[in-house]
Copies of this chain bind each other. A is one copy, B any other.
Amino acid sequence: MTNPIRVAVTGAAGQIAYSILFRVASGQVFGKDRPVHLKMLEIPPAMKALQGVAMELADCAFPLLAGMDLTDKADEAFDGINWAFMVGAKPRGPGMERGDLIKENGPIFVGQGRALNRGANDVRAMVVGNPCNTNCLIAMKNSDVPKDRFSAMMRLDQNRAQSLLAEKSGQPVTAVTNMAIWGNHSNNQYPDFENAKIGGKPAAQVIKDETWLKETFLKTVQNRGADIIKARGASSAASAANAALDHVRDLIQPTPAGDWRSVAVCSNGQYGVDKDLIFGYPVRVKADGAYEVVEGLAMTPWAKAKFDAVHDELRKERDVVKDLLK
């Protein structure tokens, strides 16, 4: 039997992990022939609930589930891992500002960044726990793992944007391609309809409604998380988990020719972004497995203003946690 891939999931007793774990164990990410060893991290008060989740995973009799470890120590959870799904984060409490949330979460990601050094040679980490871009920055800056092994999740925003353009144009979601989400997984993200395509044509040539694109589309994608909470009475869980699986698949498989995926990765200065910010870019994975940011995409001045605003937001988030960045 193939050597199992070792996968850590943090916040493992939470709602998003509850969807991720079962789908990973069923073979939906690393393939039908690759056994998976799950290493699940929780905080001490959630360890009993985590035990229940592990019992349910056992109760699935998944042929690919080669082992499970449950722990409240990041060093143990990340020992020898190949992938970390960093899902756990403190949720925003009532009246809490985004800056407060960032400060609350910072120390968690300092510790987890250090613990990532315990991973295998090829360890990679993706961050779902919000504010995911800046949490990822903190982990990256506190780790010796190479920067290109870190990413934060923009794929939920990409999926939402694709789905919305498909619905509006009456096309299947598979017809919507080249959907870039620039910047931050926040309500200042910029979902780039100018470069998106529907059935191979520029989206704006198919949806001839500039007001809808600039206002309704933009706001709907940016505020979708809040709208889900209003309807469901709970935040996005299964769709966030699904996007996390998509995100990892995006990074381990070559991207179809001509298309790209939205991934927040460490900036090398592309598009004038401050170096080291974890910035949502259009990304392509090459045949050799390395990724590259798609360069040279054009933006109108209107779009550039959106881009600059979200760039500024990420700079400010970085400044809030500057004491945590080595």
A58 to B238, CA, bound (A): 11
Question: Is the Cβ of B159 less than 8 Å from the Cβ of A56?
Answer: no
Closest B residue by C-beta to A25: B242
Chain B residues in 8 Å Cβ range of A156: 59
Chain A 206-241, CB-CB to B under 8 Å as 1, else 0, gives: 000000000000000000100110111110111101
Question: Is the Cβ of B163 less than 8 Å from the Cβ of A236?
Answer: no
Closest B residue by C-beta to A56: B239
Chain B residues in 8 Å Cβ range of A162: 61
Question: Is the Cβ of B242 less than 8 Å from the Cβ of A60?
Answer: yes
Q: Is the interface of A mostly helix, strand, loop or mixed?
A: helix
Report which of B49, B172, B173 forms a contact with A232, defined as CB distance below 8 A.
B49
Closest B residue by C-beta to A229: B52
Closest B residue by C-beta to A156: B59
| Most chain B CB atoms below 10 A, which of A61, A228, A239 | A61
A291 to B65, CA, bound (A): 29
A234 to B14, CA, bound (A): 12
| Most chain B CB atoms below 10 A, which of A21, A57, A60, A237 | A60
Question: Is the Cβ of A48 less than 8 Å from the Cβ of B231?
Answer: yes
Question: Is the Cβ of B61 less than 8 Å from the Cβ of A173?
Answer: yes
**Is A189 in the interface zone, CB < 8 Å from B?**
no
Question: Is the Cβ of B22 less than 8 Å from the Cβ of A55?
Answer: no
| Most chain B CB atoms below 10 A, which of A53, A58, A59, A163 | A59
Closest B residue by C-beta to A63: B174
